[in-house]
Structure 1
Amino acid sequence: MVAFENPHPHPPAPPHPSLDHLGLPFFDDAHRQLAPTLAAWSAEQTVDESDDRAACREWVRRLGTAGWLRYCVPATHGGALPRLDSRALVLLRETLAFHSPLADFAFAMQGLGSGAITLAGTPAQQAAHLPAVARGEQIAAFALSEPDAGSDVAALRTRAQAVPGGWQLDGTKTWISNGGLADFYVTFAKTDPEAGARGISAFIVPAGQPGLDSSAHIALMAPHPLATLRLSTCHLPDTALLGPLHGGFKLAMQTLDIFRASVAAAALGMARRALAEAVRYARQRRMFGQTLADFQLTQVRLGEMSALIESAALLTYRAAWMRDSAPPDQPLPRAYTAAAAMAKMTATENAQRVIDMALQMHGGQGVRIGQKVESLYRDIRALRIYEGATEVQLLILGKAVLNS
């Protein structure tokens, strides 16, 4: 895969923004202890990200060694908390994204890639993967999207046919995060092609399985390890089935529900970093006998950026709190789906605006390769698309309003 070169190392991260938001009633004492500890750890980490695949492996290793990946699995399998906690995930992703969007990516994919195993895995499947994910010894991936099935999951064409002793998978998956890097892929395929969404099942596909080709890497404007997976006569044992037969669509949606608010948090972290970079630059850049910060127009712009960030933050924290407050043994309420959609849409769209304003404030320096605001400008764009594009979130919200 071709990676963007970074001849100019990023400047040291500015102090993490105020953690005053931890005083909001959405959080409890465990969350208030988590965020500052992670912020201090993150500020000390320096990883060469010129090779995104090598960097992702290194981030997984560091996050696992430091114990942060333990928040991706429940305590029964080496996790930090009794169950997956959305508020912890939000704080972790916000803080990591402030420091390095690639570190956030590495963390998030460990959770998303193993989330379905946490929710529906057999004891043997959970024991084989979850502790290793928490230690950073296995890299996880979530293989749902296809060339003609992105937002329309029911349209996927990858086929899983029952054969003596197991299953045979054939088809193509694309835009797969950690593709070519993962140790296993939670893969969704049609087990009943005529049943639409009700005919999808999930399978755990080991990276070295014959019939799986993950060599087609995808280069992005902001380097992340992605690939297209090709499954051709890929045989799996009966034990590879994850969750109930034909229960894959529901399992995929349940997994995405856990992590949707955390996508908003990643955008929030990038926006906070952009604001910090803008403030630092405005204070030091001199022009016409004063600093850029002395101009009223600069102050107005910084105020607008702050308001956009804090409005998105409230929606993000609310959505995470709503999920954590729901009974663990019952379906999530409809109100949560709308709240998560609102948070994801608002945080990613607002972050795009904030980062654009920060880059504009930097002038010519803002578009120079190696400047933090330049890389943030590329990093944020994908968040408005993956795990439900903005337009999909708007459809969810529109239907929620009509049904209220």
Structure 2
Amino acid sequence: MPAFSLEPPQIAWAAELRALAADRLHPLAEKGEPGHVNRPLVTELGRLGLLSRLFTSGALDLCLMRESLAYACTEAETALALQGLGAHPVHAHGTPAQRKRWLPRVAEGTAVAAFALSEPGAGSDAAALTLRAERESARRAGAPGAESGAPLAAESDGPARWRLTGEKCWISNAPEADFYTVFARTTPGAGARGVTAFLVPADRPGLTGAALDMLSPHPIGSLDFDAVPVTADDVLGETDRGFRVAMDTLNLFRPSVGAFAVGMARAALDATLAHTARRDAFGGKLRDLQTVAHQVAEMALRTEAARLMVYAAATAYDEGAPDVPGRAAMAKLLATETAQYVVDAAVQLHGARALRRGHLLEHLYREVRAPRIYEGASEVQRGIIAKELYANLEAAEAMDAVDPVSAQEADA
């Protein structure tokens, strides 16, 4: 399917989602308590079948869901996205037992998921994680038989066991989630190659959390791990290969963060079109002022460009293209920066009324800032893009060195 167009069923589905968000989800969102999981809203997302689609749809469908929900109810969009972000590693890398236990509950909206990657000293730099997963022996000092001088079993005897010690911070849905996808260092000094992903239920002994007072309608908190026990049965994917689990998840969700941003930008643009078409000023309508008309045109131009890049990145992911990391970074970067610009311009054209508590643009103005930071800040996305560009250059130069004839033909 071309990345720049949608099929009629997709267009109709997006319109249906916008209507559902306005009619059924927004009223529930308004009843939620800021800083806490809105469980009735999550349950309704499950009842509507949207959460189950997280595990059956591709990246483009995920983008359509997030964009459409964001247009009418950002709280519903975020609740859906966080369920997907926390549960996707279980869906894509979990064992049959892990998937059987948690995914049906996530799809129903009866279990809340969270993605626990960031730390106080390692936000966007996932390879710098310091949460320790310390390997236990199958039998430890003090175990039956140890006092008699019997030899301790080797670490390889029995299933692998670890104790998680350290802290996570800026975790969405913490400390109220029912389970966490946690990334911890199993091999010290190994960088990205020494990280393992674990599925950690919230009721594990030694796991506590605290809410952070943030500019956010959903909970964001810290998690403290005090020798939290995990075993091989809790590993997602392979030991020491958790960085791959994290990047696989982020490559899928980064374009859809862009879709969230596009949904907010489109809502701000439509509100601005309606306002400038009706508002009397200087003997006519605001729309008649060239400066206003050009500003609205620029808002529309940037929003459409961001939408197309988001769809292109999502399509590349669905088709298994090799350049997904770079495309995903470009889509998130352009869309989130664009949404910030569009919402800010919309506020300017509306004037003081847009900053009144409860106004759509006042809400969007608060919501639009965070996506430029989470799941990799804008600066990180630029770094990813540059890294991919230079890697492609080096690969091309290596190919030319292997096939000098082709290189000469290209120069000619």
Q: TM-score, normalised by structure 2?
A: 0.85
Give, in angstroms, the shift of residue 58 of structure 1: 2.5
Could you list the runs of 5+ residues in structure 2 that have no partner in the other structure?
139-158, 394-412
Give, in angstroms, the shift of residue 377 of structure 1: 1.1
Distance 1:42 1:23, change over 3 A: farther
Q: Deviations over 1:185-229 (max 9, x none)?
A: 010101111222111111111111111112x21122233210000
Q: Is the 8 A contact 2:113 2:179 kept in 1?
A: yes
1:61 aligns with 2:43: yes
1:386 aligns with 2:374: yes
Q: Is the 8 A contact 1:145 1:176 kept in 2?
A: yes
Q: What's the secondary structure of 2:190's corresponding residue? A: helix
Q: Where do residues 108-187 of structure 1 align in structure 2 (5 Å cutoff)?
A: 108-163=81-136, 164=138, 166-187=161-182
Distance 2:295 2:5 in 1: 29
Q: Deviations over 1:58-113 (max 9, x none)?
A: 3211110111111112xxxxxxx3xx400000000001111122211100011110
Between Structure 1 and Structure 2, whose CA radius of gyration is higher? 2
Q: What's the secondary structure of 2:124's corresponding residue? A: coil
Distance 1:209 1:30, change over 3 A: farther
Distance 1:30 1:188, change over 3 A: farther
Q: What's the secondary structure of 2:118's corresponding residue? A: coil
Could you say which residue in structure 2 is the equivalent of 1:188? Answer: 183
Distance 1:284 1:311, change over 3 A: same
Q: Paired residue for 1:206, among 195, 201, 212? A: 201
Q: What's the secondary structure of 1:151's corresponding residue? A: coil
Amino acid at match of 2:226: S
Distance 1:242 1:304, change over 3 A: same
Could you say which residue in structure 2 is the equivalent of 1:104? Answer: 77
Q: Paired residue for 1:38, among 1, 4, 17? A: 17
Q: Where do residues 5-404 of structure 1 align in structure 2 (5 Å cutoff)?
A: 27-28=6-7, 31-45=10-24, 46-47=27-28, 48=30, 51-54=33-36, 56-73=38-55, 81=56, 84-163=57-136, 164=138, 166-214=161-209, 216-326=210-320, 333=322, 335-402=323-390, 403-404=392-393
Give, in angstroms, the shift of residue 352 of structure 1: 0.5
Amino acid at match of 1:262: S
Q: Is the 8 A contact 2:167 2:224 kept in 1?
A: yes
Could you say which residue in structure 2 is the equivalent of 1:6? Answer: none
Give, in angstroms, the shift of residue 260 of structure 1: 0.9
Tell me the matched-pair count: 367
Give, in angstroms, the shift of residue 49 of structure 1: 5.3
Amino acid at match of 1:339: R
Distance 1:292 1:32 in 2: 31
Q: TM-score, normalised by structure 1?
A: 0.86
Q: Is the 8 A contact 1:26 1:321 kept in 2?
A: no
Could you list the runs of 5+ residues in structure 1 that have no partner in the other structure?
1-21, 74-80, 327-331
Q: Is the 8 A contact 1:53 1:181 kept in 2?
A: no
Distance 1:268 1:186 in 2: 27
Amino acid at match of 1:236: V
Percent sequence identity over aligned pairs: 43
Amino acid at match of 1:355: V
Q: What's the secondary structure of 1:194's corresponding residue? A: coil
Q: Deviations over 1:319-351 (max 9, x none)?
A: 00111112xxxxx51x22111111111101111
Identify which range, 270-279 or 25-34, moves more after superposition: 25-34
Give, in angstroms, the shift of residue 54 of structure 1: 4.9
Give, in angstroms, the shift of residue 361 of structure 1: 0.7
Distance 1:359 1:197, change over 3 A: same
Q: Is the 8 A contact 1:155 1:196 kept in 2?
A: yes
Q: What's the secondary structure of 1:319's corresponding residue? A: helix
Q: Is the 8 A contact 2:330 2:381 kept in 1?
A: yes
Q: Is the 8 A contact 2:354 2:361 kept in 1?
A: yes
Identify which range, 351-360 or 131-140, moves more after superposition: 131-140
Identify which range, 309-318 or 98-107, moves more after superposition: 98-107
Could you say which residue in structure 2 is the equivalent of 1:13? Answer: none
Distance 1:28 1:286, change over 3 A: closer
Distance 1:228 1:266 in 2: 24
Amino acid at match of 1:191: T
Q: Is the 8 A contact 2:179 2:201 kept in 1?
A: yes
The CA RMSD over aligned residues, in Å, is 1.9
Amino acid at match of 1:340: A
Distance 1:264 1:239, change over 3 A: same
